[in-house]
Structure 1
Amino acid sequence: MDITHNTSDIDNQDLQVESIDDHLLGKHIALCVSGGIAAIETPKLARQLRRHGARVTAYTTPDALKFVGQAALEWGTGREVITHLSGMAEHICMDDLVLVAPATLNTINKVYAGIADNPVTTLVASALGNHTPLLIAPTMHESLYNNPFLRQNLARASECNNLTIIAPRIGEHKAKLPHLDTLVAASIRTLSTHPLRGKDILITAGPTPVKIDDVRRITNVFSGRLGTLIAQEAHYAGANVTLLLGKTGLRPPEYVPTIFHNDYDEYTRNVFDALAKGQDIGIFSAAVADYSPETVAQGKIPSGGAITSIPLVPTRKIINDVRERYPDLYMASFKYQIGVSKENLLAIAQQRVAHGSNLVVANRAEDMVGSHHAYIVGEEGVIATPQTKHEIARMLVDSIGERYEQHQ
């Protein structure tokens, strides 16, 4: 990874962070910290936001500094912490986004009452008046989270079109701070101006095993990692994502709505159930079984040589059925080959485009040693040549965004 300063005034090597991507490049984020034990996570949160390109400034309530040191926040953000207001008018919100995490009951209720008595509540008051995007992550004991006056205030969030409540994780009788990647994803998604913002996207990933008997399956080596990254990128873009994922032990981000399938039959049902609810775009990266056993045995076939051969029959091509039933769906599909030339691979991808896929991601096993080289192919030919799974995900989502409106 490359080292990025995020802003030109951070030259101290110890304060620099490794760049993950540029989703927040050039964005100024005010990280508002109130007084709860979860405040100890905020230096790490600040650095994670910076890894995506953001410039982060921390604002604290007086009680916040009982839980997290000012020096730790200075290190995490790479800049001075706003602990009090002065003649420099720090309370006037000039940021692109305000993130209040953790947000205590006291701070939240002050915000809703219009009280501005410290750097956090005053900055938030200015942000609401400026219509600056505001994210609030309630974090407290469960008894406080269930306080009726707090719940009434949280339910009023829809009254402000620039305010979003990020739900906590509930456990150990606490409303816990969401995972840091969830807070970062919410920040990226909120600031997105991507063409796919608001679009409904179905993404499939991972294997679709076929049954031999009630215990055994035939499957493949694919984990669903690439499809999960595509779902993450689409979520960042602001799309409403549904991820259908084969069970391999891979855990998708908690912010991506995911439906797991055990086998080919479940996958098929899930695809058409999701499409029936209405989708603008389908990205079919699942490694769908091409063959299944001619018959499926009931129970468990005895071991010790009872199986000597397994006759196979072709499965239905799900993407063909999808195209036939949903002719207006914008589709991206995947094609993986072994032992073919680049020219033949691209010819196969073009045939897939001719038969209904708007875009095809094509790759060969020979090009995936030490990298994940692929070709994104459309009607006009090769439109991108990503070299990693992350690049495939980002370039595919961007390519769909550039072309979707023309498709309508």
Structure 2
Amino acid sequence: MLQGKKIILGICGSIAAYKAAFLVRLLTKEGAAVRVVMTDAAKDFITPLTLSTLSKNPVLSTFFSNPQEGSWNNHIELGLWADLMLIAPASAHTLAKFSQGLCNDLLTAVYLSARCKVMLAPAMDLDMYSHPSTQANLQKLRDYGNLIIEAESGELASGLSGQGRMAEPENILQTVKTFFANDLPLKGKKVLLTAGPTQEAIDPVRYISNASSGKMGYALATELANNGAEVYLVSGPTNLKVTNKLITLAPVKSAQEMLDAAQVYFDTCDIAIFAAAVSDYAPVDIQKQKIKKNSNTLRLELHKTPDIAKTLSIKKKKNQFTVGFALETNDEEANAYKKIKGKNFDMIVLNSLNDKGAGFGYDTNKIKVFFAEKDDVKVFSLKSKQEVARDIIQLIKDNYHA
């Protein structure tokens, strides 16, 4: 959900500064780019080295990074760079400076220069937090448009117990995610997504299938949810898990089961992505008992399974956008163009088993993307499947116009 978001994390002098390490880790794991600005007092509680290691960016605390060379940390550029400025922990001293517009260090200068929203997570002892001057400063900061993440109650460093603890990093993360969720590009959109292999039974213990792991489809589901979409994931058997609440999983096995489940969601979806590796053939007769190895050969009569993508795409409405996948071993581009026309897709993603690191089982993929309404071809290098998913979803956002 925070993929590509740029966050300045301001850290003030407080025992709660040690929690900033956990917060940086949580933010970066969500895909955010984090730049840390510390006050001098904060360095007494946590080292810049720890935070630079976790954020993978230099930690800033002074205006001049190299006075001899005249290089400096431009607070204006920092203020313009960020999508969000988060102060955690925010000490009583810094809250007072923010509320009065005082500017005597890099953090206050960045605060006064920031055009993005500012969140403040106060941390101090209970009497300091409840003092009328602190509460007046917090109210003034609210009036300025800042968002206050209220301090939590519990045991404090002084040994007393009450309100003043900085909100736990997990709670701060959720507040940040909620903030960005209100401006997600696919919020309110419903997406049907098929993923994984199908299994066509031969007898009670054997089946016809393929080597699809489902990783590409599940990466797409995650990226769609991170963009605010409600995802209906119709998935064949995989070892993958779904944790995002915006993803509804419909587990299936056979191609017919996948079609039946997809039909339930298709009429009401805005976008349909057919990423599943559907078995093209299934046994005509499924044996009720396990087939014994009584002869040297075994003949199976197979029939075509339903073409899920074609069945659904040919009846799509004008406001629906459909995306297909083509995994090819020869005549790749010709086959992709044939599918985009024959299955009424708006867009098709091609990957070739001839490309090293692409296809089933890998954590990476290499794709080309073609469109029905234009000759433009997008070619991408080998990337992780999560990165590939971001590229695909960005192309959908660029080309889908309901």
- The TM-score range, normalised by the shorter chain, is 0.5 to 0.7
In 1, Cα distance between equivalents of 2:212 and 2:133: 53
Give the CA deviation at 1:314: 0.2
Q: Which residue does the alignment assign to 2:378?
A: 384
SS at 2:211 equivalent: coil
Q: Which residue does the alignment assign to 2:70?
A: none
Q: Which residue does the alignment assign to 1:269?
A: 260
In 2, Cα distance between equivalents of 1:306 and 1:127: 82
In 2, Cα distance between equivalents of 1:139 and 1:232: 34
Q: Which residue does the alignment assign to 2:247?
A: 257
Aligned residues of 2:229 and 2:246 also touching (Cα < 8 A): no
Given candidates 88, 96, 100, the residue that maps to 2:97 is 88
Letter of the 2:338 partner, please give it.
I
Aligned residues of 2:36 and 2:51 also touching (Cα < 8 A): no
Give the CA deviation at 1:402: 1.8
Give the CA deviation at 1:98: 6.4
2:277 aligned with 1:287, yes or no? yes
2:182 aligned with 1:186, yes or no? no
Q: 1:130 to 1:366 in 2, by over 3 A?
A: farther
Q: Give the aligned length.
A: 332
2:52 aligned with 1:52, yes or no? no
Q: Which residue does the alignment assign to 1:403?
A: 399
Q: Which residue does the alignment assign to 1:322?
A: 312
Q: Which residue does the alignment assign to 1:394?
A: 390
Give the CA deviation at 1:315: 0.9
Give the CA deviation at 1:298: 1.9
In 2, Cα distance between equivalents of 1:244 and 1:185: 30
In 2, Cα distance between equivalents of 1:45 and 1:349: 42
Aligned residues of 1:96 and 1:132 also touching (Cα < 8 A): no
Normalised by the size of structure 2, how large is the TM-score?
Answer: 0.64
Q: 1:47 to 1:350 in 2, by over 3 A?
A: closer
Tell me, which stretches of 5 or more residues in structure 2 are unaligned? Answer: 62-88, 102-110, 155-167, 359-363
Give the CA deviation at 1:134: 7.8
Give the CA deviation at 1:312: 0.8
Q: Which residue does the alignment assign to 1:158?
A: none
Give the CA deviation at 1:293: 0.8
In 2, Cα distance between equivalents of 1:300 and 1:137: 63
Moved more, 248-257 or 333-342: 248-257
In 2, Cα distance between equivalents of 1:245 and 1:139: 43
Q: Which residue does the alignment assign to 1:297?
A: 287
In 1, Cα distance between equivalents of 2:278 and 2:149: 39
Paired residues for 1:106-125 under 5 Å = 117=134
In 1, Cα distance between equivalents of 2:352 and 2:36: 42
Letter of the 1:339 partner, please give it.
N
Normalised by the size of structure 1, how large is the TM-score?
Answer: 0.63
Percent identity over the alignment is 20
In 1, Cα distance between equivalents of 2:116 and 2:247: 27
Given candidates 345, 355, 363, the residue that maps to 1:367 is 355
Question: What RMSD over aligned residues (CA atoms) do the two structures have, in Å?
Answer: 4.8
In 2, Cα distance between equivalents of 1:214 and 1:187: 47
Q: 1:218 to 1:98 in 2, by over 3 A?
A: farther
Q: 1:131 to 1:309 in 2, by over 3 A?
A: farther
Q: 1:96 to 1:270 in 2, by over 3 A?
A: farther
2:208 aligned with 1:218, yes or no? yes
Aligned residues of 2:118 and 2:147 also touching (Cα < 8 A): yes
Give the CA deviation at 1:345: 3.8
